[in-house]
Structure 1
């Protein structure tokens, strides 16, 4: 069975070293805090899926060996070498790895491709392009320039406002006209930097100034940095949030990967579905050529690696691009798993990733993995495969787990998700039959 052409291009058909530097990448753009670093380190578990077949994982949090052994069995990986717990004390993984010369020599001696979540100082070329186009005003300007050549694309209006007083005035004026406003920081990752302000929300807060102050206090938006006021594109429904993923190889060639359907809760990314039929051909037919055009501009600016373009759909079914992520993405994980399953089990897999499924009780990794093993057997009854993707956040104050679900039937995928959500929440009730093994 063949491997997807883009997957061959991504690592030259070779296994790779995966370094979980999510927190390091985010720290370039958002205020660093213990919470943001810890969350980034949990998310770095997705390093297991930076390519379809890893050789080495380098992770900030300590992980149980059984997690990777289970992934090896499901995805038919050869043995994966794991180095974990490098930055569990809150440090970033870049400095932690730099302080381990023996490990660095070991990785260099393997002479394998190295894949990071995204470029930071010391991870190779392209950092300037990343910092330029991770800025939401720069990506908006790029979208505006490219859109005339793509009839299925409409770019939301955007205005930069530097003064807090002027910003409150603009938002209040829009609310009086009955218009919803999207506010964006120039840089925002990990759920920080975007807010949707409806007229009702502004009125309930007693005006825009009060609401903006509250959002800054809650670290949703920056308190002093100028913000971008963006048009809210009306729309909704299942197809609201498509995302195009692509990659740029060292010679500057753009390789389209595919179009995912994201799940977005409020303004936060919560997972994605990829595979046959997940995105209608009409939407994909508009997203792919526009996404490739964006990739060519990123390549010309010096970016090499993964990127995506996120959209929302309007009531007429047109795509409105909202941002570019110049790094690996949540949907990339789904594409990697799909490519591997299609290669080893046959084509036609749908894959759905859910990065933060709530748990009804706090569980350490061993107990959580045992729970997921039992849950995987239940999902298998529907013809669905469950893979643990983020097993380290089960003992947080608000415990969660990341999983991926794979099936060849969309109904099986939906059924498995429903069972997984219910069983995870039922952990809080020892008498609930859903917790029975």
Structure 2
């Protein structure tokens, strides 16, 4: 099979390993305490439910959290999967690799089942070597920035924001304060971070309201936005201007086993502040000129990654400026939320016909905490209502419905953006309406 699907799994059903926490743990700050580490592992374990979409079709699903089998059956019906073998509830406050090490029979089953194995990202548990070295190097926002700056002169339509590397919190505070005094907004980053952790936009008013750069940094560390120690990056804020519909873009690609780079596609991300919320992918979502600019640059980055030994999925995230130029902000040498949208689109186009747009919403708020059975019933009532809009409803993260801030992750697939907008408004309103469950108790 040609193209990215062939390069990823050879077009075969695959074993999906939900090792989000394992990947993230490689980049935890040395000063992170045990309680924060446990919280971040648990959060990542919930996000690992996206493992249902690590390829267009799972054969075996390995998850750290316990899930309801009815969820898998729902997806299997909609996506025409064959039988899916599920191993769940394997890890709570430890990594999935640690859990599998304690279950050698399951680990052997994964190796010997005859299916390709895909995971969120490369870790030492999968072996050392040039691929892992490339991950550790270019997951750094400083190293990625240096690569972007090197490649950008050959790519019209690409602009690279200025970045300053600062050692020590006192110097960072002074530099932030100086930039704020000049009226500059700064994107403050730690070299490593995922999902918005380690990145914050600092406007001058925010800094002065906090009492200066030092006080602001202490507050950001205390609220676990930034790690307590280590290098910080001060990056130029890219102003999108008055029209920010295409503010945050991503372009995904796959480097095959032979080092060939295969384009996957572009998407428009939904980002709140610096926190990724979801993405929309499909025909016409990104204007052709912007998509082509992103494609050329992403493939050029991929050629460099391949030369350094990386194999697998990667993407480049971009923001747009007032001139509609694309500014690359980071590279992810792993799967991401948008990757899952591309997998779903590929599968839907294959089994239902071409032309799907897919939108993922990672954390749609619920107005009440719901047990798994109640959440399933709530979504099942919405399924036919979405279908009348021409939209397929696909639950993706069903394990946070009973969290202190209850939410559900899902995907919507339909013929156009208008249908997706209508379906999203529908499910959002229904989620909010759950607050009415408790009206009679007041």
Q: TM-score, normalised by structure 2?
A: 0.95
Contact 2:7/2:257 (8 A) holds in 1: no
Q: Which residue of 1 aligns with 2:261?
A: 254
Higher mean C-alpha displacement, 139-148 vs 92-101: 92-101
CA contact (8 A) 2:52 2:61 kept: yes
Match 1:330 to one of 334, 337, 347: 337
The list of structure 1 runs, each at least 4 consecutive aligned residues, that deviate by more than 6 angstroms after superposition, is none
Q: CA deviation at 1:4?
A: 7.9
Q: Deviation of residue 387 (structure 1)?
A: 0.2
The equivalent of 1:57 in structure 2 is 61
User: SS state of the match for residue 429, structure 1?
Assistant: helix
The structure 2 residue matched to 1:232, chosen from 234, 237, 259, is 237
Cα displacement (A) at 1:9: 2.1
Deviation track 1:16-60 (CA, whole Å, cap 9, x = no partner) reads 100000011001112462211111000000000000011000000
Q: 1:157 aligns with which of 144, 158, 162?
A: 162
- 2:122 aligned residue: 119
Distance apart, 1:431 and its partner CA: 8.1
Q: How does 1:16-31 map to 2 (within 5 A)?
A: 16-30=14-28, 31=32
47, 69, 72: which one aligns with 2:76:
72
SS of 1:263's partner is strand
**Pair 1:178-2:172 in alignment:** no
**Aligned residue for 1:404?**
411
SS at match of 2:124: coil
Question: Which of 362, 371, 375 in structure 1 is aligned with 2:369?
Answer: 362
Partner of 2:358: 351
Distance in structure 1 (CA, Å) of the matches to 2:37 and 2:107: 27
Deviations 1:391-422 (A, max 9, x none): 01111111111000000121110000011111
For the 8 Å contact 2:282–2:358, the answer to whether it is kept is yes
Given that 1:4 and 1:339 are in contact with CA atoms closer than 8 Å, whether structure 2 keeps it comes out as no
Q: CA deviation at 1:367?
A: 1.1
Q: What is residue 382 of structure 1 aligned with on the other side?
A: 389
| CA contact 1:29–1:189 (8 Å) conserved in 2 | no
Q: Distance in 2 between matches of 1:395 and 1:430?
A: 15
Partner of 2:217 in structure 1? 212
Deviation at 1:97, TM superposition (A): 0.9
- The aligned counterpart of 2:11 is 13
Question: What is the deviation of 1:130?
Answer: 0.3
Secondary structure at the aligned position of 1:151 is classed as coil
Which residue, out of 301, 308, 331, partners 1:301? 308
Match of 1:435 in 2: none
Cα displacement string for residues 156-211 of structure 1 (whole angstroms, at most 9, x for unaligned residues): 00000112221111111111111100111011113310010001111211211111
Other structure's SS at 2:373 match: helix
Structure 1, unaligned runs of 5 or more:
433-437
Partner SS state of residue 43, structure 2 = helix
Q: Is residue 2:39 matched to residue 1:35?
A: yes
Alpha-carbon distance, 1:143 to partner: 0.2
Find the aligned partners of 2:2 and 2:341 in 1 and give their Cα distance: 14
Secondary structure at the aligned position of 2:22 is classed as helix
Of residues 189, 194, 200 in structure 2, which corresponds to 1:189? 194
Over residues 81-137 of structure 1, what are the superposed CA-to-partner deviations in whole Å (9 max), with x where a residue is unaligned? Answer: 1000111x3221111012111112222221211001000012245111100000010
1:49-77 Cα offsets, whole Å, 9 max, x none, are 00001100000000011000000000000
In 1: Cα distance, 2:292 partner to 2:132 partner: 31
Q: Is the 8 A contact 2:15 2:115 kept in 1?
A: yes
Two-structure CA RMSD over aligned residues (Å): 1.3
Distance 2:244 2:2 in 1: 30
The CA distance in 2 between the partners of 1:86 and 1:390, in whole Å, is 17
| Contact kept? 1:273, 1:353, Cα under 8 Å | yes
For 2:282, the equivalent position in structure 1 comes to 275
Question: In the aligned structure 2, how far is the partner of 1:16 from the partner of 1:233?
Answer: 40
Q: Aligned pairs, how many?
A: 429
Instruction: Name whichever of 116-125 and 325-334 sits farther off.
Output: 116-125
1:239-293 per-residue CA deviation (whole Å, 9 max, x = no partner) reads: 0001010111111111010011100011011000000111000110100000000
